[in-house]
């Protein structure tokens, strides 16, 4: 089944009649037009967090209207001798810029962009030491202006810049935030070089094509005129109540397959665009994972032969037109009856269309599943517990300490400890929790959560572990570094139907670093290491409070060596 210009192809013979019926229903109910009309009754009986969350529909044209201002700022930064950009943010504020940086890279005369979205002190110190403040622009990016991680980063790096640059430090900082946010006031008080005020009626995870994404994109040399103009076809198409509206169809398909218990949305991406999945992961997970429902995005999983998959999969193959590297394996999956959507891109600039397509489609999925896609009711639960722990630490000078149930050398286990060493305990835990028959027919998944320094070697070891679990149990496996996943898949982990099995890795802190209480102040009542541990403890408790199984493993300083003990 082909949609539009045949760059959006559906392979699902078994479900063709259901797909046609579901799409016809969406067309007859004017879903696409009603989204554009901002009809909150598509998702809820109340307009709260809906009517003030739909300005992303016009983000491409709104950003185009600000192009001169963005380009003028970019040229000013280049002319001033800046060579690097360090973006301080979390979730929706950082994921799109990270995707742009990793896929587009840096064009000749433009700036190198790095992202800090980890409270691990090793990650903070590595980026502090990597860039000379004299050549670095710091972007403080948060919609609310109160995100604890982002504001902690801001205070830390502002003080570092003052130490190295004196009164010039303010000229090395800009903010991207909502009008009237706490960050706007802080940026004004600290005399930041520039403050970009975004449309406040755009939620964080829908902000990729707004100033949150476009300002960093311009700084690395992306041609914004071409990039934003590329979305116009999708914008126009999305308003049509027609089966040729690929954004509408994609949203219906996600909802339909989730209703058919195929709730593991598995991405297969061309290598050149493989980082796109991390952005879609947040959008889909945080928008659909609530009130006992949810679609689990599976990103960066090794593409295996059909015998390693259960019948809960729905594959999306987004590829560049000349890339046929996965064609044989995709064809085999189709032959075995797995539904597959194939989306073909002319070049990496077509990612602009995909950003818009997936935003619109996710809104449609919310309608199909009767979910409000613009709120995140469970995100706050882990934050509340973490804040309580931080407050207790500030009052008592120590964090709440769990008692390990098993110690293997320098490694500590918290939770079920059936076995004589870390390897036995780990696999016995998965055996027990993945062999349950659920009454609702949903298949379980494993979530690996790593509150450690997100360096490449650790990432590779975790992906290897991901594949080993997938092959053994034929289940979906996701990996995420904390606390960044708390702002994306963390919502789904607590809000879905409870079919996740969780493994939390933390590590001993070797070199900690203090978080200033205020910018331009030397006083500190907490460190990044304490904040990271409080977030890990808070997330674990929030999962337990929602009756999710959790195995916590505290690794030694030799993280990669410890992880290899599991194989």
Distance CA 14, CA 141 (A): 45
**Per residue in 415-435, is it b (16+ CB within 10 Å) or e — as a string?**
bbbebeebeebbbebbeebbe
Check residue 392 and give its pLDDT: 83
pLDDT at 278 over 70: yes
Q: Which pLDDT band holds residue 401 (cuts at 50, 70, 90)?
A: confident
- Residue 401: CB partners within 8 Å, gap ≥ 6? none
pLDDT at 1 over 70: no
Asked if 348 and 205 touch (Cβ cutoff 8 Å), the reply is no
Q: Which pLDDT band holds residue 379 (cuts at 50, 70, 90)?
A: confident
Q: Which pLDDT band holds residue 5 (cuts at 50, 70, 90)?
A: low
Give the model confidence (pLDDT) of 116-156 as tens digits.
999 999 999 999 999 999 999 999 999 988 899 999 999 99
Asked if 87 and 113 touch (Cβ cutoff 8 Å), the reply is yes
What letter does residue 111 receive in the DSSP assignment? -
Residue 293 burial (CB count, 10 A) = 19
Coil, helix or strand at residue 107: coil
Give the model confidence (pLDDT) of 420-431 as tens digits.
999 999 999 999
Cα-Cα-Cα-Cα dihedral sign, residues 248, 249, 254, 256: positive
Give the model confidence (pLDDT) of 515-547 as tens digits.
999 999 999 999 999 999 999 999 999 999 999
More confident residue, 5 or 112: 112
Give the model confidence (pLDDT) of 464-516 as tens digits.
999 999 999 999 999 999 999 988 899 999 999 999 999 999 999 989 999 99
550 - beta bridge partners?
502
Check residue 439 and give its pLDDT: 79
Find the mean pLDDT for residues 335-341.
96
Output phi, psi for 36, to 5 deg: -65, -30
Check residue 106 and give its pLDDT: 84
Bond prior to 483 in cis (omega within 30° of 0): yes
Find the mean pLDDT for residues 374-391.
84
Distance CA 29, CA 204 (A): 28
Instruction: Please tell me the chain's helix, strand, coil percentages from 3-state DSSP, rounded to the nearest 5.
Output: 50, 15, 35
Distance CA 537, CA 533 (A): 6
Distance CA 54, CA 35 (A): 8
pLDDT at 389 over 90: no
Check residue 107 and give its pLDDT: 80
Residue 111 burial (CB count, 10 A) = 21
Q: Which pLDDT band holds residue 6 (cuts at 50, 70, 90)?
A: low
What pTM did the predictor assign? 0.96
- Identify the burial level of 176 via C-beta atoms within 10 angstroms of its C-beta, where 0-12 means exposed, 13-18 middle and 19 or more buried: buried
- All domains of the chain in start order, with CATH: 2-37+230-369 (3.40.50.10490), 57-224 (3.40.50.10490), 379-564 (3.40.50.10490)
């Amino acid at each position: 089944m082909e949609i539009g210009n045949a760059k959006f192809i559906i392979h699902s013979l078994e479900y063709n009649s259901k797909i046609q019926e579901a799409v016809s229903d969406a067309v007859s109910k004017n879903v696409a037009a009603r989204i554009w009309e901002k009809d909150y009754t598509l998702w809820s009986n109340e307009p709260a967090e809906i009517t003030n969350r739909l300005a992303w529909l016009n983000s491409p044209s709104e950003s185009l209207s600000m192009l001169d201002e963005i380009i003028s700022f970019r040229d000013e930064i280049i002319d001033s001798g800046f060579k690097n950009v360090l973006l301080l943010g979390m979730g929706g504020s950082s994921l799109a810029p990270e995707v742009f940086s990793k896929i587009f890279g840096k064009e000749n005369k433009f700036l190198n962009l790095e992202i800090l979205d980890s409270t691990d002190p090793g990650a903070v110190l590595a980026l502090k030491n990597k860039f000379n403040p004299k050549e670095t622009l710091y972007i403080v990016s948060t919609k609310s202006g109160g995100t604890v991680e982002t504001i902690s980063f801001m205070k830390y790096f502002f003080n570092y810049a003052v130490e190295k640059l004196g009164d010039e430090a303010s000229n090395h900082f800009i903010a991207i935030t909502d009008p009237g946010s706490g960050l706007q006031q802080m940026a004004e008080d600290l005399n930041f070089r520039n403050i970009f005020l975004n449309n406040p009626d755009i939620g964080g995870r829908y902000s990729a094509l707004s100033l949150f994404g476009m300002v960093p994109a311009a700084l690395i040399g992306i041609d914004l005129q071409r990039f934003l103009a590329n979305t116009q076809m999708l914008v126009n198409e999305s308003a049509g109540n027609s089966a040729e509206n690929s954004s509408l169809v994609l949203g219906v398909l996600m909802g339909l397959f989730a209703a058919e218990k195929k709730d593991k949305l598995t991405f297969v991406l061309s290598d050149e665009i493989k980082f796109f999945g991390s952005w879609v992961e947040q959008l889909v997970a945080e928008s659909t994972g609530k009130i006992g429902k949810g679609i689990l995005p599976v990103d960066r999983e090794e593409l295996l032969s059909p015998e390693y998959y259960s019948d809960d999969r729905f594959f999306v193959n987004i590829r560049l037109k000349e890339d046929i590297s996965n064609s044989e394996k995709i064809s085999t999956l189709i032959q075995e009856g797995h539904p597959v959507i194939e989306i073909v891109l002319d070049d990496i600039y077509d990612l602009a269309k995909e950003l818009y397509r997936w935003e619109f489609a996710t809104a449609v999925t919310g309608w199909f599943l009767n979910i409000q896609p613009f709120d995140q009711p469970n995100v706050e639960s882990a934050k509340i517990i973490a804040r309580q722990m931080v407050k207790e630490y500030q009052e008592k000078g120590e964090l709440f300490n769990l008692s390990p149930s098993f110690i293997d050398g320098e490694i500590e286990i918290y939770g079920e400890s059936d076995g004589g060493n870390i390897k036995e305990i780990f696999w016995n835990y998965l055996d027990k929790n993945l062999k349950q028959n659920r009454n609702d027919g949903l298949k379980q998944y494993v979530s690996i959560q790593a509150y450690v320094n997100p360096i490449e070697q650790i990432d590779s070891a975790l992906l290897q572990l991901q594949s080993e679990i997938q092959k053994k149990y034929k289940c979906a496996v996701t990996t995420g570094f904390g606390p960044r996943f708390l702002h994306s898949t963390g919502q789904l982990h607590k809000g879905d139907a409870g079919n996740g099995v969780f493994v939390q890795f933390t590590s001993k802190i070797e070199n900690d670093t203090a978080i200033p209480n205020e910018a331009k102040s030397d006083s500190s009542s907490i460190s990044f290491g304490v904040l990271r541990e409080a977030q890990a403890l808070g997330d674990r408790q929030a999962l337990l409070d929602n009756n999710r199984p959790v195995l916590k493993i505290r690794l030694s300083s030799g993280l990669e060596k410890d992880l290899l003990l599991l194989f």
